[in-house]
Structure formats: structure tokens, C-alpha cells
Chains A and B, each alone.
Chain A
């Protein structure tokens, strides 16, 4: 292996004196200090609002503007009649590199729709937010545009989103009542499945 020796540049006498160098460093920091102090004071007086004094976003109150392509928590889009747009083709489950999507398909009463997800779970504790599910969906049924970033829970189970939370991103655990009118596997009370009007097999 070729070895390449990089010698550090020797300091000049001027630099070895330290003090001028320290002074130039102080110049930089002091310039920042004075400029920002001035701007902060001006903001207090309502002036110069278009120039920011700090790059900080005051997070819970002030949300950082998300890029249009930003991938946040998933949601399932909904038809006009309140049923999910998803047809249970399982392409997202197939493409998911983290294996965090679980779909069980069922027979839709309308033969023109034919198929829909009886169960659609995403385990956010496993999800890597790659967005492949959105990319692959042929029905525009899953999107990652909720802007929800603060996904946190006290248990792994609570990280699992079921069809309720996916269809209605404003829902937060613990959920109480099932509002969905169409047949589906309801997992409101933790892991236990209560099947509501379950007509999976035709």
C-alpha cells in the first residue's frame, strides 16, 4: 500500500505568538455576538423581522417547515363513502424492506372494487420510513404526508398502527370506540382482535 505522508504546515512566527490569532478568532465570535444581539433587540422592538437572529425553531410551538417530499407518518386515503381507498393488493407489504406492514384482504361487497383490506397494520417500531409503500401503491391509497413526526409510545404494541389510526391520523392511542362502518378486524383493545361483521370468506 502506498503511503502518503502529509506534513502539517509549520506555524509562522506571527501565528506562534498566539495573541493575534486569538484576536482574529475573537473578532469572528464577537461579530456574531454583536450582530445577533442587535437583531434580537430589534426583534423585541418589532424591527427587522425578516432577518433571523437564530436558526433555532422553537419546536413544539413553531414547527419546522417540511419539504414537500418529506416522509412523515403514514395514512390511508379514504373514498368519498368513508371506506379506505386501499384494495389490499399487498404491493406495499411486498416491497416493504422492514416487513412492517401486515395486510389481510377481504371481499368487498361492490364487485367493481372487489377487494379491500380487512386488516391493515403498520408497525412504526419497525418501519424505516423509506417511502417505498407510497411509491409502489397503484391506488394512491397510502401516503406519508400527515406531517406527524412525534411518534412515541411506552410499549412496542402501542407503536403498531391499525386501520383506524391510519385512516384518521388525528386519532391517538388509546382509542376507544370503533367508528368504521365497513367490516374489518378491529384491534382497538390492544392486541386482541375483535372481528366486526367479519365476512372475509365469501
Chain B
């Protein structure tokens, strides 16, 4: 391994690595436009100039392989001078329409200009006019004037999405990024070109003009769109309701996770957050009329205490069915198992029929639920558990007297009339979920619960990786987290649970369900942790 010196610090860097990577491991940031760790190296923006001793000219850090004994200065006067000159060229035709540019505030041209700006411009020539505000696809807007021709987007469509829509056309100062004739940027990963574009050339049409980026708050979470569980940052605004018609979430950006999604995410997940702010259940409803949480918890618990007792009229035991959801967190599924399956002997399932969605071998999974794997581990979808159709069928046959549905819309299983009949025949029919649907309309109690962004918890993705979802902002109006509701009911049923938070529930889960053994919120951290395999379980047992 070659040993080199960067800014006076020595580092061993593997063969074939470049100076920019070696500097990054030292925590030294070298400016870059065209360089992206997930893409091939182009070396055309020239902003990453560094001074290498015994080398007469400045080198680009992104494409200079490390060599033994190399002495590199990343921020010498000469390097800074070179970058200043490069930036002067890059800005020669840049329109400087920062006021209307959605990138401003997170734009690398702006950021680096603060360090290497030539604050007294020398160009007096007219700037070249190119096309502005071109909708290159359903999600992306192109502004050719702002482009600095770093070719990140071209390389992305060539190498990652492998669709190859983008190219660079013409030469010299007329060179411009554009689509090949007849092409549209409509691949399922098109939103990523907006993330990687270092300037405002490619912007998000969905986010366009909705807000300035400095209004946004960010919270790390995990996409709940499919079983892949891509790590994302959710950008939201709470204090300026006029900006987005009152909706809190403005956009979703992928968060780097080497083991799950690297730097990318699919458009489906990126733009599929509308339900969190629209069509939500906001009030507790009893038979369609308004009610309070206190009434709901008291009324439901009263009915639940009768589960298992003998019905004097029919002479049979009262029985409960629960249709849980793989949209719920492990903690909530665990609570459902403990309360309904173990304590009340209910028929519980988390396997709900879902039409298989599109999939590919990159990031998009056919299973559109984020926590199917977790539900299986907790034992709510395995072979011993019934599925939702079976429970609905049993209910229609009159074998079940009470039913609790978590978020699922039963009209996907039964006809409307059957749902009505079911509603009438049941002693207790609870629906708890985030959004309104026909099942909520037929239920005896409709409970508004928090969306995944509004609560703490964990999901297990298709590869058996436990990942935390963070609480970005508090639940909308009157809605409450499912775990809070379940804990309250458990308290009323005197089940003796001592847990007060998702973290404590997770500790109990880790003690109870083997694959989770040894995991804590702290160990899962921001990037998640793999579940115990059989081998590692044995290892834990030994130690």
C-alpha cells in the first residue's frame, strides 16, 4: 500500500485509489463537481486541483492515483489560485439566476465561490443563451444555461440506471447537456440526477418553487415504499404553512447507506409521500360521529375484556380477530402479538394480500410493505398464522365477534355489502390507520394513528436488516402512534407491561424474538444492523 502525505498528514491508501479518496479518509474535503463516488471518474470539471510536490502543474485529485512518497497540498496558495481560475471559467456562462433557482442554498457553485470566488469578475462578454426550464421528464426540469457540463447525469443514466437518455451535445461554449432525440428522462430512477447535479441545471419538478431549501428541516428515516428499506432524509417545513398548501413534507432525498441503497432511491419512493399530509384521519370517530381518545380506549377495552367470556345468548366464547399490517413497526407488531395473540387468544395475522408491484434487481422490490420480514420474524405471517382472507371469512361466518383492522382496506377482500353486513354483525369493529378508507367508514371505532414519519420504531427489510425510522415531526392533529394506543389498552387490560417507549418495547422484543437478540436502538444507529443469523446466534450464546 502506498504511503503518501496530504497536508502534512501521512496515510496508507490502497493501490489504485485516488488522492481525493485518500483525502476523504483523512477528513480533508476537496471541492468537486464531476467526481461522484458512485460514478466513474470523468475528470472534466477541474475544480479538485491539488498541488503535488515535484510536479510542475496542478493535478486533479479525483483522477490522480496515489503513489508512494507523494506529498500533496490540497489548499496551498497555488491550488486555491488554480481553483479560482477554474471557477471563473465555469461561471463564464452561468446565468447567476440564483434568486429563481431551486438549487440555491445547496448549490456547490455558491458554496465553492465563497472559498475561491473571484469577487471582481473580469468577463465583459455576453453570456451564451441556452434553453431554460425544459421538462426533460415527468420529474426533472433542465436548465441548460446553469449546467457546468460535469456529466454526472450522463454517467448516471449510462452506468446506474443504464437507460442512457442524457448526452452532451455541441462543442465549446455551445456545449449543452440534453436528451437524445425521441428520448424522455422517464426511467424509474430519474430523480437521482437531481440529487447528483451539483448546480441548478437539473431540478425537481415536484419540488419546483414550493420552498427555498433553507426553510427545510431534515430528519433521517427509512422509506416505507417497499421491502428494500432505502435510507432517506425527509425534508419538511412546519412553520410556513403557506408554502405547500399546508403539507409538511416537501421532498425526500436518499441517504447514503452502503449496504442498502448507496446514494440512490427510486422515483416511486421519492414521490410517494403525499398520503402523509393528504386524506388523513384526523379525529376519533365512533359510528361516524366524533369522539375522544379517552372514550375510544375505554369503550374498546370494555368490549375486549369480554373476549374469552361465554356469550349468554349464543352459548359460545366471544372471539377476536386482528388483521395487523406489515406497514407497522416491529415494536407495534410485537405489542399486537403480546396483547391480542398471547393475552386475549385472538386470531392474529399480518399477512394481507397485496397485488405484487413492479420490481427490478436494483432497488425496487415487488413487496410494497416495509416490514413483511419483521412481521414474519415476530410470527404474525408464518405458516401457523391465518391470513387476512381467512379471518374475514371466519368473521363473515360468525365465528369471530370482534375485529380490529390495522390500516388495511377490507374492500380489497370482500364486497361492499359484505363489509356492511360484517359491520352490523360484529360486537366490536375497530379500524386504526393513518388514512381514511371505506373500512374506516364502516368500523365502529375509527382511530387516527400516526404515519411512520411521526413515530419511533424499526423495520426489517427484505435482506434482514433492522433499520430505525425516526420521528420527524409530531403526529397530525388528533392522531396517536399505534404503540401508544396499544400500550394504553394493555394498561387498561391490566396486562402488566412496564414499557413506556418504543425503545423499551424493542428491548423486550430483542429478549423475546431470537433474531433480534443483542440489538438495541443504539446498535442499530443511523445505518441499521443485520439481524442475527443462525451462526451469529450461536456466537452470542457462546459469549
Interface set of A (CB-CB < 8 Å, partner B):
87-91, 94, 102-107, 111-115, 119, 138-139, 202
Contacts and interface: CB of A to CB of B under 8 A. Distances in A.
Contacts of B210: 105
Given A88-B100, A89-B100, A105 B132 contact: no
B286 interface: no
A87 B99 contact: yes
B132 A114 contact: yes
Interface in B134-165: 135
Given A102-B242, A104-B242, A115 B205 contact: no
A102 B211 CA distance: 12
Interface of B: 97-100, 104, 131-133, 135, 205, 208-212, 214-215, 242-243
B416 to A, nearest CB: 34
Contact of A106 (B209, B211, B215, B242): B209
A186 B295 CA distance: 43
Q: Closest 9 A-B residue pairs measured CB to CB?
A: A89-B99, A111-B133, A115-B100, A105-B209, A111-B132, A114-B100, A138-B99, A87-B100, A90-B212
Secondary structure of the B contact surface, majority rule: loop
21 contacts: A87-B99, A87-B100, A89-B98, A89-B99, A89-B212, A90-B211, A94-B212, A94-B214, A94-B215, A103-B242, A104-B242, A105-B210, A106-B209, A107-B133, A107-B209, A111-B132, A111-B133, A112-B132, A114-B97, A114-B133, A115-B100
A183 B258 CA distance: 47
Contacts of B104: 89
Contacts of A115: 99-100, 209
Given A94-B212, A112-B132, A119 B242 contact: yes
Contacts of A202: 135, 205, 208
A112 B133 CA distance: 8
Contacts of A111: 131-133
A105 B208 CA distance: 9
Nearest to B133: A111
A61 to B, nearest CB: 41
A138 B209 contact: no
A160 B263 CA distance: 45
A87 B100 CA distance: 6
Most chain A C-beta atoms within 10 Å of own C-beta, residue among B135, B215, B242:
B242
Given A94-B214, A114-B132, A114-B133, A107 B99 contact: no
Contacts of A94: 212, 214-215
B106 to A, nearest CB: 14
